[in-house]
Amino acid sequence: MVVGTMNRNVLDFKAVDNRICILRIETKFHNQSCINVHAATEGKGEVEDVTSHQIMKEVYDICLLNDIKVLAVDLNANIRQEED
C-alpha cells in the first residue's frame, strides 16, 4: 500500500495473478521494482509448484535490468481458519 507523498513516485503497478504483483517506484538515484509473491502450500502438487516458480522467474525477468529488485516472498504460507 502506498500512501501520502509516496503516491506520486509510483511508476507502475501490475497484478500478474492473484498471488503475484509488481510495484515499480521512482527513487532519487534508481527505480525499484518490488515483487510480492504469496504461494500457498495447501493442496499444491509438483506441477503447480514448478509452474509457480516458472511464473516468478518470468516476472523477475520482465523487470528492467537497471531497476533495483526487491522480493517479498512467502513460499510456505499456510491458509487456515483460526479456532476459538
Tell me the average pLDDT across 8-17. 90
Q: What is residue 17's predicted lDDT score, i.e. its pLDDT?
A: 85
**What's the rounded Cα separation, in Å, for the pair 2 and 9?**
9
Beta-carbon contacts of 64 under 8 Å, excluding residues fewer than 6 positions away, are 31, 33
For the question of whether the overall pTM of this predicted structure is more than 0.85, the answer is no
- pLDDT tens digit sequence for 55-77: 888 888 988 889 999 988 876 65
Write the DSSP assignment of 7-43 as a string of letters. GGGEEEEEE-SSSEEEEEEE-SSSEEEEEEEEEE-TT
Other Cβ atoms closer than 10 A to 11: 12
- pLDDT tens digit sequence for 20-53: 899 999 988 899 999 998 876 666 666 666 677 7
